């Protein structure tokens, strides 16, 4: 019998259903799991499900029965994959489920910032419209997306879908070449050119040792068009102190971030100091989380588990 342990079930909304596998099994679900509880809760488990709970090399070494780590997300940076390979533990992830939800959230952030929706909403709530004495007023600049240049960092399925939507808005799209690399082919525009010519920059890259901190002060200084910067990928891709400094110094015109380095943020997080500004929108890592996308993720997650037990490799990372 397979023992399946879901370490952080509360990372999926309660209305999302998990299809029970057809094979004989025991499924144990924990809403939350602290790092120091992982080894105990996975004792005897053959299959671990985690969304964001870390599985370290030390923990994995204490779990001889473990055969599969099924990550309930696309990113697998919470799992020590080298350690899994050493111990013969398979790692699977989720793919393609967020092709609508993440790009739509990306454009929600873009539109809200370009059209100053937060500032105008605050004005209405504060009585500024009523004081104006006319049918409209212009306290804040409003800009179209049409005709703007969109720099996309990350050319996977999400980046491609963002490009499709951008073209419908009449935007010019550029896929950034990987930082520090040339000659990647006709799809790509040189990294530096994307930084210098984009009116909006949106990030859809995985977090790896090579991409960590890819946007920092040198990159912000190169953004001569003072773009909006949107990130619905991973917080560690952007230096948070540098991002605040770039905003303060006018190197960029606004930020829309759904992801932070530490989630949830501490009170002293540099972004929390500026979160009330009208050109700053922070959302709590929910770009991926439409009900439709979450259910597709849950279905794929349990299919990955079932196919593994059948001996069929699906969405294998390790």
Active site residues: 234, 263, 285
Report strand pairing: 254-257 vs 228-231: parallel
DSSP-derived secondary structure for 168-221: HTT-EEEEEPPTT-----TTEE-HHHHHHH-SEEEE-----TTTTT-BSHHHHH
In the sheet with 2-6, reading across from the earlier edge strand, the strands are 25-29, 2-6, 47-50, 68-71, 90-92
Q: Compute how many other C-beta atoms are within 10 angstroms of the C-beta atom of residue 140.
A: 15
Indicate the burial class of 265 (C-beta count within 10 angstroms; 0-12, 13-18, 19 or more).
Answer: middle
CA distance 314 to 2: 18
User: What's the DSSP call for residue 238?
Assistant: B
| Residues 264, 163, 151, 113, Cα dihedral to 10° | -50
DSSP-derived secondary structure for 14-59: TT---PPPSSSEEEEE-S---GGGHHHHTTT-SEEEESS--B-HHH
How many residues in total does the chain contain? 318
CB 154 within 8 A of CB 203: yes
CA distance 110 to 116: 10
Instruction: Determine which helix (DSSP H) or strand (DSSP E) holds 6, and give its type and residue range.
Output: strand 2-6
CB 115 within 8 A of CB 142: yes
């Amino acid at each position: 019998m397979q023992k399946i342990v879901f370490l952080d079930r509360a990372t999926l909304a309660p209305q999302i259903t998990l299809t029970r596998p057809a094979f004989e099994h025991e499924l144990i679900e924990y809403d939350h799991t602290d790092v120091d509880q992982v080894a105990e809760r996975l004792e005897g488990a053959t299959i671990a499900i985690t969304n964001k709970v870390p599985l370290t090399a030390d923990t994995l070494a204490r779990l001889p029965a473990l055969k599969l780590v099924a990550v309930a997300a696309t990113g697998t940076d919470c799992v020590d994959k080298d350690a899994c390979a050493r111990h013969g533990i398979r790692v699977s992830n989720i793919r393609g489920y967020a092709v609508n939800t993440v790009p739509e959230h990306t454009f929600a952030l873009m539109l809200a910032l370009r059209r100053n929706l937060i500032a105008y909403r605050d004005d209405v709530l504060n009585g500024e419209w009523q004081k104006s004495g006319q049918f409209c007023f212009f306290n804040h600049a409003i800009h179209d997306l049409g005709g703007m240049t969109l720099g996309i960092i990350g050319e996977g399925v999400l980046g491609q879908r963002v490009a499709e939507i951008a073209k419908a808005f009449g935007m010019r799209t550029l896929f950034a070449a990987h930082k520090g690399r040339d000659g990647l082919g006709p799809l790509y525009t040189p990294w530096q050119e994307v930084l210098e010519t984009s009116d909006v920059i949106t990030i859809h890259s995985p977090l790896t040792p090579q991409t960590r901190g890819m946007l920092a002060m040198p990159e912000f200084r190169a953004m001569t068009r003072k773009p909006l910067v949107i990130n619905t990928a991973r917080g560690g891709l952007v230096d948070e102190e540098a991002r605040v400094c770039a905003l303060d110094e006018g190197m960029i015109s606004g930020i829309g971030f759904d992801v932070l380095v530490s989630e949830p943020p501490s009170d002293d997080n540099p972004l929390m100091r500026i979160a009330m500004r009208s050109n700053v929108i922070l959302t709590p890592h929910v770009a991926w989380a439409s009900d439709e996308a979450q259910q597709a993720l849950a279905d794929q997650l349990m299919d990955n588990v079932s196919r593994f037990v059948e001996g069929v490799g699906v969405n294998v990372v390790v």
